[in-house]
Amino acid sequence: MKSNTLNRKNPLLSIHSFLMMAFIYIPVIVIIVYSFNDSRLSMSWEGFTFDWYLSLLDNRNVMEALKNSLIIALTSTIVSTVLGTMAAIAMRKLMSKSKGAIAGLLYMPIVVPDIIMGLSLLVLFSQLGLDLGKTTVIIAHITFSISYVYVIVSSRMANMGNQLEEAASDLGATQWETFRYVVLPSIWPGVIAGALIAFTLSIDDFLISFFVAGPNSSTLPIYIYSSVKRGISPEINALCTIMILVSVALIILAQWLLNRGNREEKKTSMLPF
Amino acid sequence: MNKKKWFAVVLTGLFALTLLAGCGNSGKETLNLYSWVDNFDEDMIKKFEEENNVKVNYTNFANNEELLAKLKAGGADYDLIQPSDYMVASMIKQDLLEPLDLNNIPNFQYVTDRFKNPEYDPDNKYSIIYTSGVTGIAYNKKYVTEEPKHWEDLWNAKYKGKVLLLDDNREVIGMSLKKAGKSNSSTNDEEISAAVDDLRNLVPNVLAFDTDSIKQKMIAEEGWIAMMWSGDAAFTQAENPDIEFVVPEEGSTIWSDNYAIPKGAKNKALAEKFINFMLDPQNSAKNYESIGYSNPVTEAKQYQSEEYNNNHMINLTDDELGRTEWLLDVGDKIQMYDRFWSELKSGR
């Protein structure tokens, strides 16, 4: 309500927000529109076509990159969701003074610039003599995804309160049973939302993958980057459009799951970034 | 299920997944090929895989510097790479390449003499040419009515704001050096600064310094006349038939992409087999026609289509190739090139 009255009173504000939105979304819209352009050049509009989406399917390199991206995203999502959730649970139980410091360390990968993450992981892998490939990309993705899962799951847990757990132990549930039948079901939406975010981040990540990728581990973003040098073909636009749609769908799903869980408590929480 | 069992199941699942991810291919010998995007015909790669019962892992880089960085960082096991001419020289210097065994590559005999024994790798000890191109002038007949014959023509006041140059210091300063009749890899201070002074007079004519979308700008007729690589010119002409290409009489720069094997490659023999396979006249005809680059194998002509053989930008004449020069390492002088280049682009 409040924002409505504000809007009516101040046309400048709506103009401002409109311009901001345009600034953010025009490049994305251009990519989507030109993925349907019936011309090999991105410059001029020559008619509508789905051909670029079809030719993507025939392109062995794109399919290989897609396969790599999916294997990497699935594996890193599963591992980081388990580890991130475990971290969130452990941190809640932790009473020590160092809690703040440890939480800070868990947040760190979100704040550290990607390029530094990528470089330090690369240095680490070559020190360990690990061959660059899918495994190193997966490890790298797990590293940064854990933080995001942790943040989402712990914000979900903060809403939960201790009463349920205490009641469960009073009624004779073991620690494991409390976790399995009380804690887990109530943080479940957060866990799934965390997993979806981890998956999206892994599919989209370029910089960190770029540093630690080797043979047989080209992901879609890396493939797109190396294609641009050849001139941006509508095929690349089509690929980007698909990636945008998948990412947006996953983010919306994650947001929806987080809020559905919250609705009973009449609270809405936004993803923290 | 009790707690322990549950964890055991989760952990086993995770390990299984990681293992699965680690070794995707089923024990077949693999060739890890690291090259430019779409640099090979997919059917030819498939044919090589079937004939030898191997798998080719084809990964891409966007430029030579990225390739160099990946090799130097270590850990990535590539068997076959495709550096450009100057990068071959620099990799040899840094001891990053494995010498080739030409006995394993008998089809090397089919490579045209012009591209054997290049200055950047004498005796083909470490590299074999894959494809090449020449920097020349692309122009649109509609606007540039007189055929340009010299680099000088870019300076023509008629083309104010319609000239496109590559965004590359060695190429552009090298062009100005060639215009003055010098080597494109000059290390003489006076020659270089004279060439740069000359370029300052060209700047008012320049629409953009642009390597990546120069083709689009010519096709859309935003630019009338451009300094362009022959391969790109062939591409633009296919889209806009008004575009023509010439190699100026005073000569220009030639570049090549090559096959090379990085030091410590695990599958050197297979990499050599691949090079040999691709140099086979029939295979090469099919491969180059599909990707649209110049084929260094002259015996392949009989297997190639008329259309490909008649494309002047892909099949430059001996005379044109004869007046070109490789860009060679200029040592410390590169700093001078860099400094002049940024001055030039910022209009000082």
Residue A4 located in a structural domain: no
Residue A79 located in a structural domain: yes
Give residue ranges of B with CB < 8 Å to any A CB.
Answer: 2-3, 10, 13-14, 17-18, 20-22, 24-25, 30, 32, 34, 36-38, 42, 57-63, 73-78, 212-213, 215-216, 219-220, 235, 239
Instruction: Compare A264 and B202 and report the one with higher pLDDT.
Output: B202
Which residues contact residue B63 at a Cβ distance below 8 angstroms, ignoring those fewer than 6 apart? A229
| pLDDT interval class at A265 (50, 70, 90) | low
Distances from the Cα of A178 to the Cα of A16, A168, A186, B3, B14, angstroms: 51, 6, 11, 11, 24
Residue B303: HSE in the Cβ half-sphere, 13 Å Cα cutoff: 16
Residue A6 located in a structural domain: no
- Residues A211 and A91 reside in one and the same domain: yes
Name the residue among A65, A206, A122 with its Cα closest to residue B58. A65
Residue A144 located in a structural domain: yes
Domains in chain B, please, with CATH? Answer: 25-132+256-316 (3.40.190.10), 133-254+322-345 (3.40.190.10)
**pLDDT value of residue A270:** 57
* Cβ–Cβ gap B30/A216 under 8 Å: yes
Q: Quick one: closest CA in B to A221, which residue?
A: B60
- Residues A64 and A32 reside in one and the same domain: no
| pLDDT interval class at A272 (50, 70, 90) | low
d(CA B334, CA B43) in angstroms, rounded, equals 41
Which residues of B fall within a CB distance of 8 Å from A136? 75
Residue A54 located in a structural domain: no
- Residues A34 and A67 reside in one and the same domain: no
Name the residue among B253, B249, B255, B247 with its Cα closest to residue B136. B247
- Residues A39 and A67 reside in one and the same domain: no
Contact (Cβ atoms closer than 8 angstroms) between residue A271 and residue A255: yes
**pLDDT value of residue A234:** 82
- Residue A19: is it exposed, middle or buried by C-beta count within 10 angstroms (0-12/13-18/19+)? exposed
Mind telling me how many Å the CA of A227 is from chain B's nearest CA?
Answer: 6
Number of Cβ within 10 Å of residue B268's Cβ equals: 18
Which of these ranges, A131-135, A261-265, B84-88, B108-112, has the smallest mean pLDDT?
Answer: A261-265
| pLDDT interval class at A40 (50, 70, 90) | confident
Tokens of B248: 């100026």
- Residues A45 and A84 reside in one and the same domain: no
Query: Tell me, what CATH number does A101's domain have?
Result: 1.10.3720.10
Which of these ranges, A97-106, A198-207, A236-245, A259-268, has the smallest mean pLDDT?
Answer: A259-268
Q: Quick one: closest CA in A to B231, which residue?
A: A230
- Which of residues 47 through 66 in chain A touch B, CB cutoff 8 A? 59-61, 64
- Residues A150 and A201 reside in one and the same domain: yes
**pLDDT value of residue B337:** 92
pTM: 0.80
Q: Is A188 on the interface with B (CB under 8 A)?
A: no
pLDDT in 10s for each residue of chain B, 348 residues: 455 555 555 555 555 555 555 444 457 899 999 999 889 999 999 999 999 999 999 998 888 888 998 898 877 789 999 999 999 999 999 999 999 999 999 999 999 999 999 999 999 999 999 999 999 999 999 999 999 999 999 999 999 999 999 988 899 999 999 999 999 999 999 999 999 999 999 999 999 998 878 888 898 899 999 999 998 899 889 888 999 999 999 999 999 999 999 998 999 999 999 999 999 999 999 999 998 889 999 899 999 999 999 998 899 999 999 999 999 888 888 899 999 999 998 875
Which residues of A fall within a CB distance of 8 Å from B21? 71-72, 75, 134-135, 138
Residue A263 located in a structural domain: yes
d(CA A119, CA A210) in angstroms, rounded, equals 10
Mind telling me how many Å the CA of B33 is from chain A's nearest CA?
Answer: 8
Instruction: Compare A58 and B107 and report the one with higher pLDDT.
Output: B107
Which of B13, B30, B220 lies closest to A44 in CB terms? B220
- Residues A164 and A94 reside in one and the same domain: yes
- Residues A32 and A99 reside in one and the same domain: no
* Terminal CA-CA length for chain A: 25
- Residues A105 and A208 reside in one and the same domain: yes
DSSP structure string for A176-219: HHHIIIIIHHHHHHHHHHHHHHHHHHHHH--HHHHHH--TT---
Which of B25, B30, B216 lies closest to A231 in CB terms? B216
Instruction: Compare B30 and A44 and report the one with higher pLDDT.
Output: B30
What is the residue range of A135's domain? 59-269
Which residues of B fall within a CB distance of 8 Å from A78? 13-14, 17
Average pLDDT over residues A124-153: 93
| pLDDT interval class at A263 (50, 70, 90) | low
Which residues contact residue A121 at a Cβ distance below 8 angstroms, ignoring those fewer than 6 apart? A136, A139, A140, A143, A208, A211, A212
Distances from the Cα of A61 to the Cα of A217, B79, B118, B314, angstroms: 11, 18, 32, 25
- Residues A101 and A24 reside in one and the same domain: no
* Cβ–Cβ gap B22/A133 under 8 Å: yes
- Residues A203 and A259 reside in one and the same domain: yes
- Residues A120 and A191 reside in one and the same domain: yes
Residue B20: enclosing H or E segment and its boundaries? helix B3-22
- Cα torsion angle, B258, B260, B262, B265, sign: positive
* Reported ipTM: 0.73
Counting the structural domains of chain A, the total is 2
Residue A40 located in a structural domain: yes
Average pLDDT over residues A232-243: 85
Name the residue among A158, A157, A163 with its Cα closest to residue A185. A157
d(CA B101, CA B125) in angstroms, rounded, equals 8
Identify the three-state secondary structure at position A272: coil
**pLDDT value of residue B37:** 85
Mind telling me how many Å the CA of B181 is from chain A's nearest CA?
Answer: 32
Tokens of A104: 């800070």
Which residues of A fall within a CB distance of 8 Å from B3? 176
**pLDDT value of residue B18:** 52
